A and B are shown apart, each in its own frame.
Chain A
Amino acid sequence: MSTVLESLNTSLHQAMTRDERVYMIGEDLMDPYGGAFKVTRGLSTEFPERVLTTPVSEAGIVGLAGGMALRGLRPVVEIMFGDFITLAADQLINGITKFHWMYNQQVNVPIVVRLPMGGRRGYGPTHSQTLEKLFLGVPGLRVLAPSALGNPGDLLERAILEDDGPVLFVENKLLYLQDIIDPSAEAEFVLISNTTTETYAPTYSLTLRDSPPPILTLTAYGYMAELARAAVLKLAYEHEIFCEMIVLTQLSPFESKTLLPVPLLTSIQRTQRLLTIEEGGITMGWGAEVVARASEAVGDALQSATRVAARDIPIPASVSMEEMVLPSVDTIVQAAKKMV
């Protein structure tokens, strides 16, 4: 059994071994430190020529990586805390994500920017956020977020080696030490992994093994999938509410034809109730878009929809206040109970 952190670290080693065009760029990447969260540990020892430890210049290094990608390399940038991606927003929005289209499809920009996001570590307002919603819907940008399900390292490796466009890879910090949940070894849940032709990023569906038909669809990504999984158990065992949970690993773009991943749509059609769960702030968030798309896609079949998300205030440093802002297993359970 390995952790999400080990899976990601192994995949970075593999990507650099398999393709010498892969470069690792970021702050404090050198061993023995190996990056603030140790995801890049060992790389600078194994590939000293291709790991660039950088000054504190998020805009500069993301732009630099964009230029390297334009010229045929496949750079991976680590932003130490995902919060700092705002410093590089211009490089992403007005440059890297536009080059392919704006230059009439004459260039590709294969760059992966890794973003450790999320709270519950007491880092306070500027080191605990879940900011990817600011980048969802940016044309030309793929936003991926692994969870503990399946193979997070494989998702990262495919983004690095196979994706010819820019990718934001959102890693919730609390996921790092979680054990990976292997579908074949899962006893409690039936876990099905689905892929579509539009993306290499899988969508997972989970239902409790041998349970009655679900009456509520939960959807989440990243670490929130862990909380949602705990909520599904609680709802079943304490409240006899049976749910199906759909976990997305691609947040943007959404499916162009079906509007949402098919497993999510079929689940909504079955249960007619949708609860979205995200760690980012609730207003204008991922859940809002999912609900809007669900409504457009299934019409009256969607009887009720609710969002669980962070409150629209900065993430406090204090542990008690942080818990009041971020979604928890309890807030998910309470929201679900109100819907059935």
Chain B
Amino acid sequence: MPDDQALYRGLYRIRRFEETVLNEFSSGLFYGTTHTYLGQEANAVGVLDHLQKEDIVFSNHRCHGHFIAYGGDPRALFAELMGKKTGVTGGRGGSQHIHWKNFYSNGILGSTVPVGTGAALAEKFKDSNAVTIIFLGDGTLGQGVVYESLNLASLWDVPVLFVVENNRIAQTTPIELAVAGEIPPRFNAFGIPTTELNTSDVCEILPTARELIAEIRGEAAPRALILHTHRFGPHSKGDDTRPEEEIKRLHAKHDPIKIHAERLDKNARTIIETEIDAQISEAFDLAKNDPLPAYI
């Protein structure tokens, strides 16, 4: 179990990165679009803390938090968002299409689910003992290929953890208009054991994820983890149609940073925040001065 300070560092790093992205978008330094992870930080930190070197992560359009929790370099991600040569994928992929070590993301919702399942199956064939984590959201539950993948994962005992981050909203469409019935039975129907957590507390997500990942590694079989969570920011940049009071309420009740901050004394918190603020600010400045690709 990592200590509370390390967890806070992990959560706060994502928060500062994403706040910087949203704040600086208007300055014109970033190019294209982005989907921030604000409010969902505890999911990435809680799940990915247990990864071993050989483990694999498939992420989606909202991938910054996953990437940073995986150990990705904030400067390379800033640079990628700015289209710089030093970006994670040299400016080719942008915010949603990055790859580093065993981390892969793609911007087509659901398309990563069969690919991640195949990656996990390959590792099983290779006897590498690797576990693959596939992140998806409530919106992605509308994609048919997800269910083809669940079927394959269960039929062939694929060592994969499906993590559904249910933030109850797909772009602007609330879950009530997009997801019929309940989420867990969609996994149970394929014989995939499913665990549900309704929390923004990293200390609640952490032990559950650890247990599931250990089970997957031991049994070589799939599991699903449904994390009911909250998106504080807009879907991408300025497209939040929810009332401001609603966002304020979410911040007050479900902020993973605030929840975990309670476990640290003020002094320790300030030291961490100052340190991370400086790291993120330095990463941003370095990326800003990095060159754009000169040729293709």
Contacts and interface: CB of A to CB of B under 8 A. Distances in A.
Interface string A101-112: 111101100000
A45 B280 CA distance: 57
A72 B114 CA distance: 16
Contact of A67 (B97, B108, B115, B148): B115
Interface stretch (B119-127, B166-174, B181-189, B198-206): B119-127
Interface in A1-17: none
Contacts, number: 115
A136 interface: no
A299 interface: no
Given A66-B118, A102-B97, A103-B97, A60 B149 contact: yes
B99 interface: yes
B5 interface: no
Most chain B CB within a 10 A radius of its CB, from A91, A94, A99, A103: A103
Given A70-B104, A71-B126, A60 B152 contact: yes
B122 A54 contact: no
B89 interface: yes
Contacts of B123: 71
A20 to B, nearest CB: 10
A98 B119 CA distance: 16
A68 B121 contact: yes
Contact of B122 (A72, A95, A101, A107): A72
B279 interface: no
Interface in B91-134: 92-93, 97-99, 104, 106, 108, 111-123, 125-126
Contacts of A137: none
Interface residues of B, number: 34
A215 B149 CA distance: 55
Nearest to B113: A63
A330 interface: no
B118 A54 contact: no
A26 B173 CA distance: 37
B76 to A, nearest CB: 11
Contact of B148 (A55, A71, A73, A101): A55
A67 B111 contact: no
A67 B125 contact: no
Nearest to A56: B148
A29 to B, nearest CB: 14
Contacts of A57: 148, 151-152
A59 B122 contact: no
A66 B115 contact: yes
A65 interface: yes
A169 B126 CA distance: 26
Contacts of B114: 59-64, 66-67, 91
Given A63-B114, A63-B118, A71-B119, A101 B92 contact: yes
Nearest to B87: A104
A312 interface: no
A171 to B, nearest CB: 23
A90 interface: yes
A102 B148 contact: no
B92 A59 contact: no
A259 interface: no
A52 interface: yes
B96 to A, nearest CB: 10
Contacts of B93: 102-104
A25 to B, nearest CB: 9
A68 B158 CA distance: 12
B151 A64 contact: no
B247 interface: no
Nearest to A49: B125
B28 interface: no
18 contacts: A55-B155, A57-B151, A60-B145, A60-B148, A61-B148, A64-B117, A66-B115, A70-B118, A70-B119, A71-B118, A71-B119, A71-B122, A71-B123, A72-B126, A90-B145, A95-B106, A95-B112, A102-B89
Interface of A: 23, 52, 54-55, 57, 59-73, 75, 90-91, 94-95, 98-99, 101-104, 106-107
Q: Which 10 A-B pairs have the closest CB atoms?
A: A67-B118, A63-B114, A60-B148, A64-B118, A71-B122, A103-B99, A57-B148, A67-B119, A67-B115, A68-B122
